[in-house]
Structure formats: structure tokens, C-alpha cells
Structure 1
Amino acid sequence: MPDKKTDAKSMHEETRQVELVIGKILRIGVITSAIVVMIGIIMYFINGGGGYTDGFPKRFADIFAGIAAGKSYAVIMLGIFLLILTPVLRVVVSIYAFYKEHDNLYVIITTVVLIILIFAMLMGYRS
């Protein structure tokens, strides 16, 4: 028969590991996006402009086409997109963590938060 203290200690250690993973995801996401934005800024000064006459690219296809063409504004927008994506990834990891802890209420709540985030991003993308 499993010991309650052992189960609680194991659950605490698993929760601690998930918190460490979430912390790493946030750090890596922010650092990566900052590096990408800095590369875009350096490209801006090297190229002498952003590569667009009407401002920053707003569609994913335009961003990726701009990156392929070496346009600095597209690289900066990629960095901003990565920064926006970082907390979304954190929510996904949180859903998994709550599922592993058998905390169904928080799985549902966090899934609703993820759906709201995705909906808001899609609505922002459309406009």
C-alpha cells in the first residue's frame, strides 16, 4: 500500500519540475524573441531601412516572405510574434501539468484560457 507521505512528496517534486520547465520556456521564449528583434534592428541599420514602404508586414505569409528577402521589419515582426507565442506555450504546458496532477477543474479552466487566447489571436490576425 503506497504511503501518503511518499505520494505527496512525489507530487510536490513533479509540480516543482513542471514549474522549472515553465520557467525555462518563458526565459527561452523571451531571450529568443529579443535576439530575433535585435537581429532585425541590426539588419535595419545595415540595410538602411525596413524594406517596406508602408510599415511593418502584418500577415504571416508577408513576414516569412520578408524574412526570405532579408527585410529587417519582417525579422522584427517575427521576434514580436515569438514573444506573443511564449505565454501561449506556457498555457499549453500548464494544461499538461494539471492533467498529470489529475486536477480536472484547472485543466478545464486553463483550456478555456487557451481557447480565448487562440480566438483573440485569430481575431487580431483577421483585422
Structure 2
Amino acid sequence: MDESKVKNSPAAEPGTSRIAAVELAVSKMLRIGIYLAAAVIIVGLLWLLITGEGGYPEDTYPTSFMGIVNGVGDWKPVAVIEAGLLLLILTPVLRVVVSLFVFLREKDYRFVAITALVLLILIISFALGKAG
């Protein structure tokens, strides 16, 4: 292998391997979150198909976080499916939170501000979505 190509490659720059490691960890976290959410949804769907009922009277499903948690504790299929969907929604939000801490650690305050703004927008959108 030609050493000049290795020295001039972007991976040879100082700090690049740390950035690549963070990006790899974040992508792994996203993948695990999606797989976990899919597994929870599939378990809920299978349980729904096995029992033939959602665990709630018709048209009354949990709409709050605690309602979903209580439903999962009672092993209600619809609540398990909703928990999987909640995991799917929260996975990219967790990525934003992790990015915020990574940028803080790197002392990259411009990206801290941008990421904090994105997180604030997500929180406001969740609050407005709940109010509507």
C-alpha cells in the first residue's frame, strides 16, 4: 500500500478517528433503537393476533405516556404496539440528545446551539401535538 495515500487520506487527520468513532456509535444506537422498536411492535402484533383482542374496549386506547406504560405492565397488545411506536419516535430524539453532549464535550459551541435549538423545536412540537 502506498504510504502517501494513507498520509493524505481524511482518516489520517488528527481527531478524525474520534469523530468517526462517535458517528459509528450514533449510527449503531440508531440501528439498535429501530431494531428494538420493530421487535416490540412485532411482539405486540403477534400477541394481538394470538388473543384476538387489543386489551381495551373498542375505540379506547391509551393516549398518554403513563397509559402506555400501564398497558404494557398489564400486557395489553395495543399498548405494547404503541410502546414500540414510541420507541421508534424517540430513537432519533435520543440521537439529538447524544449529539448535544458530544458537541459540548468537543467544545463546539456553534453546534451545541444548533443542536439545542433542534431539541427545543422537537420538545415544542411534541407539546403542541399533545395539546391539539
Same fold (TM over 0.5): yes
Deviation (angstroms), 1:102: 2.3
Residues 35 and 42 of structure 1, relative CA distance in 2, 3 Å threshold: same
| 1:45 and 2:46 matched | no
Name stretches of at least 5 consecutive residues in structure 2 with no aligned partner: 1-11
Deviation (angstroms), 1:100: 2.7
Deviation (angstroms), 1:97: 2.0
| 1:118 and 2:120 matched | no
The count of residues paired between Structure 1 and Structure 2 equals 120
State the partner residue of 2:61.
Answer: 56
Partners of 2:35 and 2:60 in 1: CA distance: 25
Runs of 4+ displaced beyond 6 Å: none
Q: Which of 22, 26, 41 is residue 30 of structure 2 equivalent to?
A: 26
State the partner residue of 1:101.
Answer: 106
Partners of 2:115 and 2:27 in 1: CA distance: 17
Which structure ranks higher in relative contact order (CA pairs < 8 Å, sequence separation ≥ 6)? 1
TM-score (norm 1): 0.87
Instruction: Note if contact 1:56-1:77 (Cα within 8 Å) is conserved in structure 2.
Output: no
State the partner residue of 2:95.
Answer: 90
Partners of 2:92 and 2:81 in 1: CA distance: 18
Partners of 1:32 and 1:10 in 2: CA distance: 35
Partners of 1:84 and 1:32 in 2: CA distance: 12
Please tell me the root mean square deviation across aligned C-alpha atoms, in Å: 1.5
AA matched with 2:21: Q
Name stretches of at least 5 consecutive residues in structure 1 with no aligned partner: 1-7
State the partner residue of 1:5.
Answer: none
TM-score (norm 2): 0.84
